[in-house]
Amino acid sequence: MSVLVIAEYDQAGLKPATRSVITAAAVLGTDIHVLVAGHDASAAAALAATVQGVTKVLHADAPYYGEQTAENLAVLVQSLAGVYRHVLAPATSFGKNLLPRVAALLDVAPLSDVCGIVSPDTFVRPIYAGNALATVQSADPIKVITVRPTAFAPADDGAGAPIEAIDAGPDLGLTQVQSRALSASARPDLSAAKVVVAGGRGLVSGEHYRSLLEPLADKLNAALGASRAAVDAGFVSNDHQVGQTGKVVAPELYLAIGISGAIQHLAGMRDSRIIVAINKDPDAPIFQVADYGLVGDLFKLVPELTEAL
Strand extents, DSSP E, 159-305: 163-166, 195-199, 223-226, 253-257, 274-279, 292-295
pLDDT of residue 158: 82
CB contact at 8 A, 240 and 260: no
Q: Are residues 199 and 257 in the same domain?
A: yes
Report yes or no: 110 and 103 within 8 Å, Cβ to Cβ.
Answer: yes
Q: Residue 290, SS3?
A: coil
Query: Residues 62, 100: one domain?
Result: yes
Specify if 47 maps to a domain. yes
**Is the domain of 117 the same as that of 253?**
no
pLDDT value, residue 186:
78
pLDDT score for 284: 95
The per-residue pLDDT for 180 is 79
What span, in angstroms and rounded, lies between the C-alpha atoms of 163 and 203? Answer: 51
Taking the C-alpha atoms of residue 257 and residue 20, their distance in angstroms, rounded to an integer, is 29
**Domain end marker among 145, 166, 187:** 166
In a domain, 108, yes or no: yes
Q: How many CB atoms lie within 10 A of CB 220?
A: 17
Q: Are residues 8 and 87 in the same domain?
A: yes
Smallest CA-to-CA distance from 203 within 280, 115, 124, 133 is with: 280
Q: Give the CATH number of the domain where residue 273 resides.
A: 3.40.50.1220
pTM of the model: 0.83
- Asked whether residue 151 falls in the same domain as residue 211, the answer is no
Query: What is the count of structural domains for the chain?
Result: 2
The reported pLDDT for the residue numbered 211 is 96
Residue closest to 87 by CA, chosen among 50, 114, 69, 65: 114
In a domain, 177, yes or no: no
CA atoms within 13 A on the CB side of 109: 7
**In CATH, what number is assigned to the domain containing residue 97?**
3.40.50.620
- 302: domain range? 195-308
Calculate what percentage of the chain has a pLDDT beyond 90. Answer: 76
Residue 204 domain-assigned? yes
Position 186 in a domain: no
Q: Tell me whether residue 182 is in a domain.
A: no
How far is Cα 174 from Cα 7, in angstroms, rounded to an integer?
22
Contact 257, 265 (CB under 8 A): no
Write the pLDDT tens digit of every residue in 230-280.
999 999 998 899 998 888 898 999 999 999 999 889 988 988 999 999 999
Whether residue 19 is found in the same domain as residue 150: yes
Q: Which of residues 166, 186, 204 is at a domain's end? A: 166
| pLDDT tens digits, 2-60 | 999 999 998 778 888 999 999 999 999 889 999 999 998 999 999 999 999 999 999 99
Residues 147 and 50 grouped into a single domain:
yes
Q: Are residues 129 and 231 in the same domain?
A: no
